[in-house]
Amino acid sequence: MPTVLITGTSRGIGLEFVKQYAAEGWKVIAVARNPGSDDRLGEVSGEVSIHLLDVTDAAAVASFSETIKDQPIDVLINNAGINGNRMKKFGNTDYEAWEDMLRVNTLAPLRMTEALISNILQSNMRTVACISSVIGSIGRNSTGGRYDYRSSKAALNAVIASMALDLAEQDVKVLALHPGWVQTERNGPEAPIPLDVSIAGMRKLIDDATAETSGKYLNFRGEEYDW
């Protein structure tokens, strides 16, 4: 079975990716900054190895890539992210929090992909999925605010578009995926999309990735967004 490496797996979307891939018999490398207070990650059955890693820590990412040297990675899912405060408006910018968000949401997906590219190139599927957000679409911004999160995901989208072009010759597919507004524990039942439905939809897009879909900005249903 193929191998998937997922970041941000202590809870939410990352944890559900781990559960679904493990249930299908994939080998799962679950990266988490910490295992979570209730350790639901540790309870997932299947072929799951857990690695504690802060994806913003350059030295830790470099030594992590040394430890998994020579393991093919079919699918890398750059999921770890900070969502921030939805109500943030002009005049209330927390610049330090914004810098932290850029380090996690924008820099880390590129850092992880650069660190693991030799593992990706040893695999058959060669797919990198980055969990973006529709909030990063400049064309769809009709409500303003959220300077930190919007800019972090818009910049991530620019990173994804460049990676898709730069890695095309090596047959690496790179996707920007919007999971929908998902019923994670953080969002609660107010959100419309069940967690399992969102993750199943994104897994299908990852399975079906081709040179034609690489570099596209898609929601979990496969509908394409403008940047």
Residues that bind ligand NAP (CB under 6 A): 7-14, 32-34, 36, 54-56, 79-83, 104, 131, 133, 178-179, 181-182, 184, 186-187, 191
* Residue among 11 and 221 whose Cβ is closer to ligand NAP: 11
Q: Rounded to a whole number, what is the largest CA-CA distance in the chain? A: 51
Shortest separation between residue 216's beta carbon and ligand NAP, angstroms: 16
Shortest separation between residue 161's beta carbon and ligand NAP, angstroms: 17
* Residue among 54 and 169 whose Cβ is closer to ligand NAP: 54
CA distance 8 to 111: 14
* Residue among 14 and 215 whose Cβ is closer to ligand NAP: 14
* Residue among 200 and 211 whose Cβ is closer to ligand NAP: 200
* Residue among 12 and 215 whose Cβ is closer to ligand NAP: 12
Residues 6 or more apart whose Cβ sits within 8 Å of residue 55: 7, 8, 31, 33, 61, 80, 104, 108, 111, 112
Shortest separation between residue 104's beta carbon and ligand NAP, angstroms: 5
3-class SS at 152?
helix
Shortest separation between residue 169's beta carbon and ligand NAP, angstroms: 28
Burial of 197 (0-12, 13-18, 19+ CB in 10 A): middle
Shortest separation between residue 26's beta carbon and ligand NAP, angstroms: 19
Residue 91's CB: how many other CB atoms inside 10 A? Answer: 5
CA distance 24 to 130: 21
CA distance 162 to 174: 9
Shortest separation between residue 98's beta carbon and ligand NAP, angstroms: 14
Q: What angle do CA 160, 96, 16 make, to 5 degrees?
A: 50
* Residue among 122 and 187 whose Cβ is closer to ligand NAP: 187
CA distance 65 to 80: 17
